[in-house]
Structure 1
Amino acid sequence: MAQLAPAPSPRGVPEATVARLPLYLRALTSLSDRGVATVSSDELAETAGVNSAKLRKDLSYLGSYGTRGVGYEVEFLRHQITREIGLTQDWAVVIIGIGNLGHALANYGGFASRGFRIAALVDADERRSGEEVAGLKVRHSDELEDVIETLNISIAVVATPAHAAQAVCDRVVAAGITSILNFAPAVVQVPEGVELRKVDLSTELQILAYHEQRKNGAALALTAEQAVELAKAVRG
Protein backbone atom coordinates (compact mmCIF):
# COMPACT_ATOMS: atom_id res chain seq x y z
CA MET A 1 0.00 0.00 0.00
CA ALA A 2 1.81 3.09 -1.22
CA GLN A 3 1.66 6.39 0.62
CA LEU A 4 2.80 9.80 -0.42
CA ALA A 5 5.68 11.22 1.57
CA PRO A 6 4.28 13.71 4.09
CA ALA A 7 5.11 17.37 4.07
CA PRO A 8 7.72 18.36 6.64
CA SER A 9 6.12 18.78 10.05
CA PRO A 10 5.56 22.35 11.12
CA ARG A 11 7.90 24.04 13.53
CA GLY A 12 6.74 24.44 17.08
CA VAL A 13 5.55 20.89 17.80
CA PRO A 14 4.24 20.99 21.40
CA GLU A 15 6.64 19.74 24.05
CA ALA A 16 4.02 17.27 25.28
CA THR A 17 3.85 15.77 21.80
CA VAL A 18 7.65 15.59 21.54
CA ALA A 19 7.71 13.73 24.87
CA ARG A 20 5.27 11.13 23.52
CA LEU A 21 6.98 10.48 20.18
CA PRO A 22 9.51 8.05 21.73
CA LEU A 23 6.56 6.11 23.21
CA TYR A 24 5.05 5.75 19.75
CA LEU A 25 8.41 4.75 18.31
CA ARG A 26 8.88 2.07 20.95
CA ALA A 27 5.38 0.75 20.32
CA LEU A 28 5.94 0.69 16.55
CA THR A 29 9.26 -1.09 16.99
CA SER A 30 7.54 -3.74 19.09
CA LEU A 31 4.84 -4.16 16.44
CA SER A 32 7.46 -4.37 13.69
CA ASP A 33 9.39 -7.04 15.60
CA ARG A 34 6.18 -9.09 15.71
CA GLY A 35 5.74 -8.75 11.95
CA VAL A 36 2.76 -6.38 12.11
CA ALA A 37 2.51 -4.37 8.88
CA THR A 38 -0.38 -2.01 9.63
CA VAL A 39 -1.95 -0.78 12.86
CA SER A 40 -5.05 1.21 13.70
CA SER A 41 -4.82 4.35 15.81
CA ASP A 42 -6.71 2.59 18.61
CA GLU A 43 -4.31 -0.36 18.62
CA LEU A 44 -1.23 1.86 18.47
CA ALA A 45 -2.57 4.11 21.22
CA GLU A 46 -3.22 1.11 23.47
CA THR A 47 0.28 -0.25 22.85
CA ALA A 48 1.81 3.15 23.60
CA GLY A 49 -0.36 3.74 26.66
CA VAL A 50 -2.16 6.90 25.48
CA ASN A 51 -5.68 7.63 24.24
CA SER A 52 -6.32 7.40 20.50
CA ALA A 53 -7.52 11.00 20.08
CA LYS A 54 -4.27 12.30 21.57
CA LEU A 55 -2.24 9.97 19.35
CA ARG A 56 -4.01 11.13 16.20
CA LYS A 57 -3.48 14.75 17.17
CA ASP A 58 0.21 14.14 17.88
CA LEU A 59 0.79 12.37 14.58
CA SER A 60 -0.97 15.14 12.69
CA TYR A 61 1.97 17.40 13.58
CA LEU A 62 4.12 15.03 11.52
CA GLY A 63 1.73 15.31 8.59
CA SER A 64 0.69 11.70 9.09
CA TYR A 65 -3.03 10.94 9.09
CA GLY A 66 -3.04 7.25 8.26
CA THR A 67 -5.41 5.64 5.77
CA ARG A 68 -9.12 5.48 6.56
CA GLY A 69 -10.21 1.94 7.29
CA VAL A 70 -6.64 0.67 7.33
CA GLY A 71 -4.65 2.72 9.79
CA TYR A 72 -0.93 3.39 9.71
CA GLU A 73 1.83 1.52 7.95
CA VAL A 74 4.12 0.51 10.80
CA GLU A 75 7.46 0.87 8.98
CA PHE A 76 6.48 4.11 7.27
CA LEU A 77 5.38 5.70 10.54
CA ARG A 78 8.52 4.44 12.28
CA HIS A 79 10.57 6.21 9.64
CA GLN A 80 8.58 9.42 10.06
CA ILE A 81 9.02 9.52 13.82
CA THR A 82 12.67 8.47 13.65
CA ARG A 83 13.36 11.32 11.23
CA GLU A 84 11.31 13.82 13.26
CA ILE A 85 13.20 13.23 16.49
CA GLY A 86 16.59 13.15 14.80
CA LEU A 87 17.46 9.48 15.14
CA THR A 88 18.60 9.21 11.54
CA GLN A 89 21.72 11.11 12.59
CA ASP A 90 24.74 9.92 14.55
CA TRP A 91 24.73 11.68 17.92
CA ALA A 92 28.06 11.50 19.74
CA VAL A 93 27.62 11.29 23.51
CA VAL A 94 30.04 11.77 26.41
CA ILE A 95 29.28 10.22 29.79
CA ILE A 96 30.79 12.21 32.65
CA GLY A 97 31.16 10.33 35.92
CA ILE A 98 32.05 6.65 35.59
CA GLY A 99 30.82 5.31 38.90
CA ASN A 100 28.30 2.49 39.14
CA LEU A 101 25.65 4.41 37.20
CA GLY A 102 28.13 5.64 34.59
CA HIS A 103 29.35 2.08 34.08
CA ALA A 104 25.80 0.86 33.60
CA LEU A 105 25.00 3.60 31.09
CA ALA A 106 28.21 2.97 29.15
CA ASN A 107 27.42 -0.73 28.90
CA TYR A 108 23.80 -0.27 27.86
CA GLY A 109 23.45 -1.73 24.39
CA GLY A 110 20.29 0.11 23.40
CA PHE A 111 21.85 3.49 22.62
CA ALA A 112 23.51 2.56 19.33
CA SER A 113 20.35 1.16 17.78
CA ARG A 114 18.60 4.45 18.50
CA GLY A 115 21.19 6.74 16.94
CA PHE A 116 23.29 7.54 20.01
CA ARG A 117 26.98 6.67 19.99
CA ILE A 118 28.87 6.69 23.27
CA ALA A 119 32.03 8.40 22.05
CA ALA A 120 33.84 9.15 25.31
CA LEU A 121 33.89 8.46 29.04
CA VAL A 122 35.23 11.03 31.47
CA ASP A 123 35.86 10.90 35.22
CA ALA A 124 37.57 13.15 37.77
CA ASP A 125 39.24 10.24 39.59
CA GLU A 126 42.80 9.86 38.30
CA ARG A 127 42.73 6.21 39.31
CA ARG A 128 40.12 5.58 36.63
CA SER A 129 42.13 7.20 33.84
CA GLY A 130 42.95 4.61 31.23
CA GLU A 131 40.47 2.11 32.62
CA GLU A 132 38.53 0.38 29.85
CA VAL A 133 34.75 0.39 30.08
CA ALA A 134 32.53 -0.87 27.26
CA GLY A 135 35.48 -0.76 24.87
CA LEU A 136 36.43 2.86 25.66
CA LYS A 137 39.26 4.16 27.80
CA VAL A 138 38.19 6.55 30.55
CA ARG A 139 39.63 10.04 30.10
CA HIS A 140 40.43 12.39 32.97
CA SER A 141 38.07 15.33 33.49
CA ASP A 142 40.96 17.73 32.75
CA GLU A 143 40.52 16.61 29.12
CA LEU A 144 36.78 17.27 28.99
CA GLU A 145 36.86 20.34 26.74
CA ASP A 146 39.32 18.68 24.37
CA VAL A 147 37.13 15.55 24.23
CA ILE A 148 34.08 17.62 23.35
CA GLU A 149 35.88 19.48 20.59
CA THR A 150 37.87 16.69 18.98
CA LEU A 151 35.10 14.09 19.07
CA ASN A 152 32.37 16.52 18.02
CA ILE A 153 30.23 15.67 21.03
CA SER A 154 26.55 16.59 20.73
CA ILE A 155 25.13 15.41 24.07
CA ALA A 156 26.58 15.27 27.58
CA VAL A 157 25.31 12.75 30.12
CA VAL A 158 26.13 13.84 33.66
CA ALA A 159 26.38 10.97 36.16
CA THR A 160 28.59 12.65 38.74
CA PRO A 161 28.02 13.04 42.48
CA ALA A 162 25.60 15.85 43.33
CA HIS A 163 28.26 18.32 44.46
CA ALA A 164 30.06 18.18 41.10
CA ALA A 165 27.06 18.41 38.77
CA GLN A 166 26.75 22.18 38.44
CA ALA A 167 30.45 22.71 37.73
CA VAL A 168 30.40 19.96 35.12
CA CYS A 169 27.32 21.44 33.44
CA ASP A 170 28.97 24.86 33.41
CA ARG A 171 32.04 23.41 31.70
CA VAL A 172 30.17 21.48 29.01
CA VAL A 173 27.98 24.49 28.21
CA ALA A 174 31.08 26.69 27.94
CA ALA A 175 32.55 24.08 25.58
CA GLY A 176 29.54 24.41 23.28
CA ILE A 177 27.22 21.60 24.38
CA THR A 178 23.55 22.56 24.24
CA SER A 179 21.96 19.23 25.22
CA ILE A 180 22.49 17.71 28.68
CA LEU A 181 20.97 14.67 30.36
CA ASN A 182 21.49 14.95 34.11
CA PHE A 183 21.42 11.82 36.29
CA ALA A 184 23.12 13.54 39.24
CA PRO A 185 20.84 13.97 42.28
CA ALA A 186 21.11 17.75 42.13
CA VAL A 187 19.23 20.69 40.67
CA VAL A 188 21.48 22.44 38.14
CA GLN A 189 21.00 25.66 36.22
CA VAL A 190 21.80 26.16 32.56
CA PRO A 191 21.49 29.25 30.37
CA GLU A 192 18.67 29.84 27.92
CA GLY A 193 19.13 27.86 24.74
CA VAL A 194 20.52 24.78 26.51
CA GLU A 195 18.21 21.76 26.73
CA LEU A 196 18.44 20.06 30.12
CA ARG A 197 16.66 16.82 30.96
CA LYS A 198 16.82 15.38 34.46
CA VAL A 199 16.48 11.76 35.51
CA ASP A 200 16.08 11.53 39.29
CA LEU A 201 15.79 7.88 40.28
CA SER A 202 15.34 8.55 44.00
CA THR A 203 12.45 10.95 43.39
CA GLU A 204 10.73 8.43 41.14
CA LEU A 205 11.11 5.76 43.83
CA GLN A 206 9.67 8.12 46.44
CA ILE A 207 6.64 8.74 44.25
CA LEU A 208 6.17 5.00 43.77
CA ALA A 209 6.45 4.50 47.54
CA TYR A 210 3.79 7.14 48.06
CA HIS A 211 1.36 5.42 45.71
CA GLU A 212 2.17 1.98 47.11
CA GLN A 213 1.43 3.25 50.60
CA ARG A 214 -1.90 4.68 49.44
CA LYS A 215 -2.85 1.36 47.81
CA ASN A 216 -2.08 -0.47 51.03
CA GLY A 217 -4.26 1.91 53.00
CA ALA A 218 -1.34 3.03 55.12
CA ALA A 219 -1.79 6.63 54.08
CA LEU A 220 -5.01 6.78 56.06
CA ALA A 221 -3.08 6.19 59.25
CA LEU A 222 -0.66 9.07 58.73
CA THR A 223 -0.60 11.83 61.27
CA ALA A 224 -0.81 15.37 59.93
CA GLU A 225 2.90 15.86 60.64
CA GLN A 226 3.84 12.68 58.76
CA ALA A 227 1.74 13.71 55.80
CA VAL A 228 3.57 17.03 55.56
CA GLU A 229 6.95 15.30 55.69
CA LEU A 230 5.91 12.80 53.03
CA ALA A 231 4.74 15.58 50.73
CA LYS A 232 8.09 17.32 51.12
CA ALA A 233 9.93 14.11 50.25
CA VAL A 234 7.86 13.51 47.13
CA ARG A 235 8.50 17.05 45.93
CA GLY A 236 12.25 16.49 46.47
Structure 2
Amino acid sequence: MTKPPHAGSEDPPARLRSIPEASVARLAVYLRKLGELAEEGADTVSSDELAAATGVNPAKLRKDLSYIGSYGIRGVGYEVSALVHQLERTLGLNHRQAVALVGIGNLGHALAGYGGFGGRGFPVTALFDVDPDLVGIHINGILVEHVRAIPEVCAQRGVTIGMIATPAQGAQSVCDLFVEAGVRCILNFAPVVLQVPEEVEVRKVDLAVELQILAFHVARKHVAAVGQATAVNGHPVNGAGKVLS
Protein backbone atom coordinates (compact mmCIF):
# COMPACT_ATOMS: atom_id res chain seq x y z
CA MET A 1 0.00 0.00 0.00
CA THR A 2 1.20 3.50 -0.62
CA LYS A 3 2.45 5.53 2.31
CA PRO A 4 0.00 8.04 3.77
CA PRO A 5 0.56 11.66 2.81
CA HIS A 6 2.40 12.51 6.02
CA ALA A 7 4.82 9.59 5.85
CA GLY A 8 8.37 9.98 4.59
CA SER A 9 9.94 13.00 2.96
CA GLU A 10 9.72 14.55 -0.47
CA ASP A 11 11.16 12.46 -3.26
CA PRO A 12 14.87 13.24 -3.59
CA PRO A 13 15.98 14.84 -6.85
CA ALA A 14 17.98 11.72 -7.77
CA ARG A 15 14.83 9.58 -7.73
CA LEU A 16 12.88 12.09 -9.82
CA ARG A 17 15.64 12.25 -12.40
CA SER A 18 15.64 8.46 -12.67
CA ILE A 19 12.04 8.28 -13.93
CA PRO A 20 11.97 7.73 -17.72
CA GLU A 21 10.15 10.43 -19.67
CA ALA A 22 7.68 7.92 -21.11
CA SER A 23 6.79 6.86 -17.57
CA VAL A 24 6.29 10.48 -16.51
CA ALA A 25 3.77 10.90 -19.32
CA ARG A 26 1.89 7.81 -18.16
CA LEU A 27 1.95 8.98 -14.52
CA ALA A 28 -0.02 12.04 -15.62
CA VAL A 29 -2.59 9.75 -17.28
CA TYR A 30 -2.87 7.64 -14.12
CA LEU A 31 -3.42 10.76 -12.04
CA ARG A 32 -6.24 11.94 -14.29
CA LYS A 33 -8.04 8.61 -14.00
CA LEU A 34 -7.46 8.40 -10.26
CA GLY A 35 -9.02 11.83 -9.91
CA GLU A 36 -12.12 10.52 -11.68
CA LEU A 37 -12.20 7.48 -9.41
CA ALA A 38 -11.89 9.68 -6.32
CA GLU A 39 -14.84 11.78 -7.51
CA GLU A 40 -16.84 8.57 -7.87
CA GLY A 41 -16.05 7.66 -4.27
CA ALA A 42 -13.58 4.83 -4.91
CA ASP A 43 -11.22 4.08 -2.00
CA THR A 44 -8.97 1.52 -3.68
CA VAL A 45 -8.14 0.39 -7.20
CA SER A 46 -6.26 -2.66 -8.43
CA SER A 47 -3.39 -2.42 -10.87
CA ASP A 48 -5.40 -4.40 -13.42
CA GLU A 49 -8.37 -2.02 -13.11
CA LEU A 50 -6.22 1.10 -13.40
CA ALA A 51 -4.26 -0.37 -16.29
CA ALA A 52 -7.42 -1.26 -18.20
CA ALA A 53 -8.89 2.20 -17.59
CA THR A 54 -5.76 3.92 -18.93
CA GLY A 55 -4.93 1.53 -21.77
CA VAL A 56 -1.64 0.37 -20.26
CA ASN A 57 -0.21 -3.10 -19.69
CA PRO A 58 -0.60 -3.97 -15.95
CA ALA A 59 3.08 -4.90 -15.63
CA LYS A 60 4.11 -1.57 -17.15
CA LEU A 61 1.78 0.29 -14.79
CA ARG A 62 3.26 -1.44 -11.75
CA LYS A 63 6.75 -0.61 -13.00
CA ASP A 64 5.79 3.04 -13.49
CA LEU A 65 4.35 3.30 -10.00
CA SER A 66 7.40 1.61 -8.50
CA TYR A 67 9.42 4.67 -9.56
CA ILE A 68 7.50 6.73 -7.01
CA GLY A 69 7.75 4.06 -4.31
CA SER A 70 4.19 2.78 -4.64
CA TYR A 71 3.70 -0.99 -4.80
CA GLY A 72 0.17 -1.63 -3.54
CA ILE A 73 -0.99 -4.70 -1.62
CA ARG A 74 -1.72 -8.01 -3.26
CA GLY A 75 -5.46 -8.61 -3.37
CA VAL A 76 -6.23 -5.03 -2.35
CA GLY A 77 -4.48 -2.75 -4.80
CA TYR A 78 -3.70 0.91 -4.29
CA GLU A 79 -5.32 3.41 -1.96
CA VAL A 80 -6.68 6.05 -4.34
CA SER A 81 -6.20 9.14 -2.17
CA ALA A 82 -2.65 8.20 -1.16
CA LEU A 83 -1.66 7.41 -4.74
CA VAL A 84 -3.11 10.73 -5.93
CA HIS A 85 -0.99 12.50 -3.33
CA GLN A 86 2.17 10.69 -4.40
CA LEU A 87 1.56 11.39 -8.09
CA GLU A 88 0.79 15.05 -7.47
CA ARG A 89 3.99 15.39 -5.46
CA THR A 90 6.07 13.63 -8.10
CA LEU A 91 4.59 15.71 -10.93
CA GLY A 92 5.14 18.94 -9.04
CA LEU A 93 1.45 19.66 -8.59
CA ASN A 94 1.83 20.27 -4.85
CA HIS A 95 3.48 23.56 -5.76
CA ARG A 96 1.78 26.50 -7.41
CA GLN A 97 2.19 26.60 -11.19
CA ALA A 98 1.46 29.71 -13.22
CA VAL A 99 1.25 29.69 -17.01
CA ALA A 100 1.87 32.47 -19.52
CA LEU A 101 0.67 32.17 -23.12
CA VAL A 102 2.13 34.07 -26.06
CA GLY A 103 0.29 34.23 -29.39
CA ILE A 104 -3.45 34.87 -29.35
CA GLY A 105 -4.23 33.65 -32.86
CA ASN A 106 -6.78 30.90 -33.54
CA LEU A 107 -4.94 28.25 -31.53
CA GLY A 108 -3.77 30.64 -28.84
CA HIS A 109 -7.23 32.10 -28.37
CA ALA A 110 -8.64 28.60 -27.92
CA LEU A 111 -5.94 27.77 -25.38
CA ALA A 112 -6.49 31.05 -23.54
CA GLY A 113 -10.22 30.41 -23.35
CA TYR A 114 -9.92 26.81 -22.15
CA GLY A 115 -10.94 26.60 -18.51
CA GLY A 116 -9.55 23.12 -17.91
CA PHE A 117 -5.98 24.27 -17.28
CA GLY A 118 -6.84 26.02 -14.02
CA GLY A 119 -8.89 23.08 -12.82
CA ARG A 120 -5.85 20.84 -13.21
CA GLY A 121 -3.50 23.18 -11.37
CA PHE A 122 -2.17 25.20 -14.32
CA PRO A 123 -3.92 28.58 -14.26
CA VAL A 124 -3.13 30.85 -17.18
CA THR A 125 -2.09 34.09 -15.47
CA ALA A 126 -0.64 36.12 -18.35
CA LEU A 127 -1.36 36.58 -22.06
CA PHE A 128 0.84 38.28 -24.66
CA ASP A 129 0.74 39.24 -28.33
CA VAL A 130 2.11 41.89 -30.70
CA ASP A 131 -1.10 42.57 -32.63
CA PRO A 132 -2.41 46.04 -31.64
CA ASP A 133 -5.96 44.75 -32.16
CA LEU A 134 -5.37 42.12 -29.46
CA VAL A 135 -3.16 43.94 -26.99
CA GLY A 136 -5.41 45.55 -24.42
CA ILE A 137 -8.38 43.20 -24.66
CA HIS A 138 -9.36 40.74 -21.93
CA ILE A 139 -9.79 36.98 -22.37
CA ASN A 140 -11.29 35.12 -19.41
CA GLY A 141 -10.58 38.23 -17.36
CA ILE A 142 -6.87 38.35 -18.26
CA LEU A 143 -5.43 41.39 -20.01
CA VAL A 144 -3.51 40.67 -23.22
CA GLU A 145 -0.20 42.54 -22.94
CA HIS A 146 2.55 43.26 -25.45
CA VAL A 147 5.30 40.66 -25.69
CA ARG A 148 7.91 43.22 -24.62
CA ALA A 149 6.35 43.04 -21.14
CA ILE A 150 7.10 39.31 -20.80
CA PRO A 151 10.19 39.60 -18.55
CA GLU A 152 8.55 42.01 -16.10
CA VAL A 153 5.08 40.45 -15.98
CA CYS A 154 6.30 36.84 -15.74
CA ALA A 155 8.66 37.74 -12.91
CA GLN A 156 5.91 39.60 -11.05
CA ARG A 157 3.38 36.79 -11.38
CA GLY A 158 5.77 33.93 -10.72
CA VAL A 159 5.23 32.26 -14.08
CA THR A 160 6.76 28.78 -14.12
CA ILE A 161 5.57 27.53 -17.53
CA GLY A 162 5.48 29.42 -20.82
CA MET A 163 3.36 28.40 -23.79
CA ILE A 164 4.29 29.60 -27.27
CA ALA A 165 1.57 29.62 -29.94
CA THR A 166 3.13 32.15 -32.30
CA PRO A 167 4.12 31.78 -35.97
CA ALA A 168 7.48 30.07 -36.44
CA GLN A 169 9.40 33.26 -37.17
CA GLY A 170 8.55 34.84 -33.82
CA ALA A 171 8.92 31.83 -31.56
CA GLN A 172 12.64 32.07 -30.79
CA SER A 173 12.49 35.72 -29.71
CA VAL A 174 9.55 34.90 -27.45
CA CYS A 175 11.46 31.96 -26.04
CA ASP A 176 14.42 34.24 -25.30
CA LEU A 177 12.12 36.61 -23.40
CA PHE A 178 10.78 33.73 -21.34
CA VAL A 179 14.32 32.64 -20.50
CA GLU A 180 15.18 36.22 -19.57
CA ALA A 181 12.17 36.21 -17.24
CA GLY A 182 13.43 33.09 -15.47
CA VAL A 183 10.90 30.69 -17.01
CA ARG A 184 12.54 27.28 -17.22
CA CYS A 185 9.77 25.16 -18.75
CA ILE A 186 8.27 25.92 -22.16
CA LEU A 187 5.50 24.25 -24.16
CA ASN A 188 6.05 25.09 -27.82
CA PHE A 189 3.27 24.86 -30.42
CA ALA A 190 5.25 26.74 -33.07
CA PRO A 191 6.67 24.60 -35.91
CA VAL A 192 10.30 25.36 -35.08
CA VAL A 193 13.06 23.92 -32.91
CA LEU A 194 13.90 26.36 -30.12
CA GLN A 195 17.43 27.00 -28.95
CA VAL A 196 17.55 27.20 -25.17
CA PRO A 197 20.10 26.95 -22.34
CA GLU A 198 20.68 23.49 -20.91
CA GLU A 199 18.61 24.19 -17.80
CA VAL A 200 15.47 25.03 -19.81
CA GLU A 201 13.05 22.21 -20.61
CA VAL A 202 11.09 22.45 -23.87
CA ARG A 203 8.19 20.26 -24.92
CA LYS A 204 7.20 20.56 -28.58
CA VAL A 205 3.66 19.97 -29.80
CA ASP A 206 3.49 19.89 -33.60
CA LEU A 207 -0.11 19.22 -34.60
CA ALA A 208 0.79 18.73 -38.26
CA VAL A 209 3.32 16.04 -37.35
CA GLU A 210 0.73 14.31 -35.15
CA LEU A 211 -1.70 14.28 -38.08
CA GLN A 212 0.99 12.87 -40.34
CA ILE A 213 1.60 10.07 -37.84
CA LEU A 214 -2.10 9.30 -37.81
CA ALA A 215 -2.12 9.34 -41.62
CA PHE A 216 0.61 6.69 -41.51
CA HIS A 217 -1.61 4.50 -39.34
CA VAL A 218 -4.56 5.06 -41.69
CA ALA A 219 -2.39 3.95 -44.61
CA ARG A 220 -1.12 0.93 -42.69
CA LYS A 221 -4.66 -0.18 -41.84
CA HIS A 222 -5.61 0.24 -45.50
CA VAL A 223 -2.71 -1.94 -46.61
CA ALA A 224 -3.70 -4.56 -44.03
CA ALA A 225 -7.28 -4.54 -45.26
CA VAL A 226 -6.14 -4.98 -48.86
CA GLY A 227 -3.86 -7.81 -47.80
CA GLN A 228 -6.72 -9.51 -46.00
CA ALA A 229 -8.68 -9.44 -49.24
CA THR A 230 -6.03 -11.39 -51.12
CA ALA A 231 -6.78 -14.87 -52.32
CA VAL A 232 -7.30 -17.74 -49.91
CA ASN A 233 -6.72 -20.94 -51.85
CA GLY A 234 -7.18 -18.91 -54.97
CA HIS A 235 -10.38 -17.18 -53.81
CA PRO A 236 -10.74 -13.60 -52.55
CA VAL A 237 -12.10 -12.97 -49.04
CA ASN A 238 -14.15 -10.13 -47.62
CA GLY A 239 -13.29 -8.02 -44.57
CA ALA A 240 -14.71 -10.68 -42.24
CA GLY A 241 -12.47 -13.33 -43.78
CA LYS A 242 -15.32 -15.06 -45.62
CA VAL A 243 -14.38 -16.54 -48.97
CA LEU A 244 -16.14 -14.80 -51.79
CA SER A 245 -17.45 -16.70 -54.81
Q: Deviations over 1:48-98 (max 9, x none)?
A: 221111111111121111122100011211111011111122211110001
| Alignment-derived partner of residue 43 in structure 1 | 49
- Distance in 1 (alpha carbons) for counterparts of 2:2 and 2:154: 43
Q: Deviations over 1:171-227 (max 9, x none)?
A: 21122111000011222221201000011111101111121122123998xxxxxxx
CA contact (8 A) 1:8 1:63 kept: no
CA contact (8 A) 2:175 2:194 kept: yes
- Distance in 1 (alpha carbons) for counterparts of 2:133 and 2:31: 40
Whether 2:173 is the aligned partner of 1:141: answer: no
- Distance in 2 (alpha carbons) for counterparts of 1:202 and 1:218: 24
- Aligned residue pairs total 221
Whether 2:53 is the aligned partner of 1:71: answer: no
Runs of at least 4 residues of structure 1 off by over 6 A? none
1:100 to 1:2, Cα distance in 2 relative to 1, 3 A: closer
RMSD after superposition: 2.2
CA contact (8 A) 2:2 2:82 kept: no
Provide the TM-score with structure 2 as the length reference: 0.83
| Alignment-derived partner of residue 192 in structure 2 | 186
CA contact (8 A) 1:122 1:139 kept: yes
| Pairing partner for 2:180 from 169, 174, 196 | 174
Give the drift of 1:11: 3.8
| Alignment-derived partner of residue 131 in structure 1 | 137
* Mapping for residues 1-236 of structure 1, pairs under 5 Å: 4=4, 5=7, 8-9=10-11, 10-12=15-17, 13-217=19-223
Q: 3-state SS of the aligned residue for 1:120?
A: strand
- Distance in 2 (alpha carbons) for counterparts of 1:66 and 1:157: 36
CA contact (8 A) 1:6 1:62 kept: no
In our comparison, the structure showing a higher alpha carbon Rg is 2
**Amino acid aligned to 2:163:** V
CA contact (8 A) 1:6 1:64 kept: no
**Amino acid aligned to 1:156:** G
CA contact (8 A) 2:187 2:205 kept: yes
**Amino acid aligned to 2:174:** V
Give the drift of 1:3: 5.2
Give the drift of 1:2: 9.4
- Distance in 1 (alpha carbons) for counterparts of 2:66 and 2:220: 38
Provide the TM-score with structure 1 as the length reference: 0.86
Unmatched 5+ stretches in structure 2: 227-245
1:123 to 1:145, Cα distance in 2 relative to 1, 3 A: same
Give the drift of 1:165: 0.7
| Alignment-derived partner of residue 231 in structure 1 | none
